[in-house]
């Protein structure tokens, strides 16, 4: 099989310069009859999880243990701002406390203490 290829190569070399060892491999031959269509418009990239703002209801009371944590009570409405940290989500209270305790309104919460608003888990 190899001998046949070598024989054919000697006959085809004058017609196909790309078979020649001396051929310049950096030359690109363009086909004038082909036209590439323009790229279709890309759909907008989805926003990162940080800005989606999903709404959740607290299932249990939670007392903050660090300065970055957010304390809440069962039944509080929270807006989750970032779910990228496993086990802990960045959230903020949707309502201010009536008791005027000066409570922090944004911080990290344990994700197993909340349920998505209007889900079966959030029902009393």
CATH number at residue 75: 2.30.30.40
> Does the residue 25 lie in any domain?
no
β-partners of residue 54 are: 80
Q: Which domain holds residue 72?
A: 49-122
Exposure string of 47-68, with b = 16+ CB inside 10 Å and e = fewer, is eeeeeeeeebbbbeebeeeeee
When divided into structural domains, the chain yields a total of 1
100-119 pLDDT, tens digit each: 555 668 999 999 999 988 76
pTM of the predicted structure, to 2 decimals: 0.52
Residue range 60-87: average pLDDT? 92
In a domain, 16, yes or no: no
Contact between residue 83 and residue 65 where contact means Cβ atoms under 8 Å apart: no
d(CA 42, CA 44): 6
């Amino acid at each position: 099989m190899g001998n046949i290829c070598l024989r054919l190569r000697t006959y085809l070399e004058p017609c196909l310069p790309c078979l020649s060892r001396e051929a310049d491999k950096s030359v690109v031959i363009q086909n004038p009859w082909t036209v590439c269509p323009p790229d279709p418009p890309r759909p907008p990239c989805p926003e990162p999880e940080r800005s989606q703002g999903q709404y959740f209801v607290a299932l249990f009371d939670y007392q903050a243990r660090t300065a970055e944590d957010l304390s809440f009570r069962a039944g509080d409405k929270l807006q989750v701002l970032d779910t990228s940290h496993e086990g802990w989500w960045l959230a903020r209270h949707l309502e201010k406390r009536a008791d005027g305790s000066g409570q922090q309104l944004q911080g990290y919460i344990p994700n197993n203490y909340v349920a998505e608003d209007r889900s079966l888990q959030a029902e009393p």
